[in-house]
Structure 1
Amino acid sequence: MPRLRRMLFLVLATFGTLYLVLCVAAFALQRSLLYPAPRRTPPLENIEGFSRLPLGEGLYVDLFYLPAPPGAPTVVHFHGNGEELLGQVGLGTLMEARGLGFLAVEYPGYGASPGSPTEQDIYAAAEAALTWLRAKGVTAQQTVLSGRSLGTGVAVEMARRGHGARVMLVSPYTSISDIAAMAFPFLPTRLLMRDRYDTASKATSVKLPVLIIHGEEDTLIPVDMGRRLGKLFPQAVVETVAGAGHNDVLEDPGKVFKNRMASFALGQP
């Protein structure tokens, strides 16, 4: 019996050590998983529509901007974690064709922008871009905040800070902590997460009209998260896309849901 107890103790100690190592690795590597950060060189500031916004301390963030016609709203868009600024041109040209302005904001460490992405640094870049837009005469009442996947958390935080009049969320999540808990149920992810983007806790304070678009076959961010958020925002409309997953929810040939976003941004039915 003493020998059996010693063996049991060694097994439990080994398991505990391996589990601790796994937790430490998850804590250390989580940002590389959350922010795959596509890179692009050279910088884009010499291409029409692209510009560079200084952030201080040698940092900057790239922007893609199409000015609105006089009096029309401007859509400010925050992209997903596996995207970059250059990939937002198509959405921007569609919004421009519908009579809207468009501003897409790069994240630190993405594309050609220097730095490392974190929740707070992405918020800082987003707020700097919105301040830049205000200086161009675009008011908060003329601003429609838009986000896709990771960017939905950024859009909601900017709405919470009073930067827009409407909000559009494509494939939103309740929080990154909830996503991590689904992906790694055997880890204490809620204790380990450094960047949480807790949209659910902020939703009730966002009194603006909100449009939520979510693919019904989304296996990364379940459609039930979009539906749950639709009940938390005081003024939300949830539209689900049959047969669509996470990466193809806006990619239908007829651009039906991109045009739905444009109509919502314009205040149309």
Structure 2
Amino acid sequence: MQKFLVFLVMLALGAYAAACLALFVMQRSLIYYPPASAAFPAPHTSTLEVPGASLKVSERPAKGHGAVIYLGGNAEDVTASLPLLDAAYPDRALYLLHYRGYAGSTGKPAEEELVHDALALFDKVAPEHGDIVVVGRSLGTGVAVQLATQRPVRRLVLVTPFDSLRDLAARQFPYFPVRWLLRDRYDSWRHAPKVTAPTLLLVAGNDELIPRDSADQLLTRFSPNVATMRVIDGAGHNTISNSPDYIKALAWAR
């Protein structure tokens, strides 16, 4: 009987270790969900060449000093946000980045690469448009916060933001050592104190994916008088942009 119990324990430990290994190997497929193609045509598209990838950028050109760089969510077709951004920022040129591996872009997505790509896009846009607003949504907020610490962003808008992807994943998989396994952590709390651009956290009142306390925690990470929060009541994580208040909120950074 004792040998049988030992066998069962070893079997359970082996199964647990195999599950941890599978979670480690498959983690990026659980984070990134690239759309197969862009659903909406952009007025203009360009290609941004970066080490290891060719990135598609959907654009709405506009003359003048102002521009918006948009960094979307983990499963977002960023072209779907073109009409909303066009309405919120009629006088600014729009640049929507298709992440590595997403529609029209080559390569594979990962945190370090996505941040480097956002920096490269900023450096491409800056010579023509010196006044750049950065809008990040969901996963894109983790990229946007890091971008804002390394470039002179005019204003920063974080739509459905989170304090740390690592913490969110630990809540979703409470029986696994996710904090140790996760490679793409998007610890926005670590970078927020270094942001100096005026920042708006735009939160969905009924966000079913990101707990409210995560956004509340992130707000406290910024230096005093840098960040404010606006809550759109009744909105969900994926439906916040359907609210009539969404465009008005984005226009804060106009």
Please, what TM-score do these two structures have when normalized by structure 1?
0.88
Residue 224 in structure 1 maps to residue 213 in structure 2: yes
Residue 215 in structure 1 maps to residue 212 in structure 2: no
**Match of residue 17 from structure 2:** 20
One-letter identity of the residue aligned with 1:218: D
How many residue pairs align between the two structures?
A: 251
**Match of residue 49 from structure 1:** 44
**Match of residue 65 from structure 1:** 59
Residue 88 of structure 1 and its aligned partner are, at CA, apart by 2.5
Residue 41 of structure 1 and its aligned partner are, at CA, apart by 7.4
Q: CA RMSD in A?
A: 1.8
Q: Secondary structure at the match of 2:20?
A: helix
Residue 124 of structure 1 and its aligned partner are, at CA, apart by 2.0
Q: CA 1:9–1:192 in structure 2 vs 1: closer, same or farther (change >3 Å)? A: same
Residue 21 of structure 1 and its aligned partner are, at CA, apart by 0.4
CA deviation vs aligned residue, 1:109-144 (integer Å, no higher than 9, x gap): 001111111111211221111111023x222xx111
Residue 39 in structure 1 maps to residue 30 in structure 2: no
Cα distance in 2 for residues equivalent to 1:56 and 1:232: 32
Cα distance in 2 for residues equivalent to 1:19 and 1:250: 40
Whether the aligned pair in 1 keeps the contact of 2:62 and 2:93 (CA below 8 Å) is yes
Q: CA 1:190–1:62 in structure 2 vs 1: closer, same or farther (change >3 Å)? A: same
Runs of 4 or more consecutive aligned structure 1 residues displaced over 6 Å after TM superposition: none
Q: Secondary structure at the match of 2:129?
A: coil
Q: CA 1:146–1:41 in structure 2 vs 1: closer, same or farther (change >3 Å)? A: closer
**What does 1:41-190 correspond to in 2, within 5 Å?**
48-56=43-51, 59-71=53-65, 73-97=66-90, 99-135=91-127, 137-139=128-130, 142-190=131-179
Cα distance in 1 for residues equivalent to 2:38 and 2:141: 26
Percentage of identical aligned residues: 31
Whether the aligned pair in 1 keeps the contact of 2:44 and 2:61 (CA below 8 Å) is no
Residue 100 of structure 1 and its aligned partner are, at CA, apart by 2.5
One-letter identity of the residue aligned with 1:173: F
**Match of residue 265 from structure 1:** 253
Whether the aligned pair in 2 keeps the contact of 1:176 and 1:198 (CA below 8 Å) is yes
Unaligned runs of 5+ in 2: none
Q: Secondary structure at the match of 1:250?
A: helix
Unaligned runs of 5+ in 1: none
Greater CA radius of gyration, 1 or 2?
1
Residue 231 of structure 1 and its aligned partner are, at CA, apart by 1.4
Cα distance in 2 for residues equivalent to 1:208 and 1:182: 30
Q: 1:194 aligns with which of 177, 180, 183?
A: 183
Cα distance in 1 for residues equivalent to 2:132 and 2:61: 12
Cα distance in 1 for residues equivalent to 2:72 and 2:241: 13
CA deviation vs aligned residue, 1:208-231 (integer Å, no higher than 9, x gap): 211001112112111221111111
Cα distance in 2 for residues equivalent to 1:205 and 1:65: 29
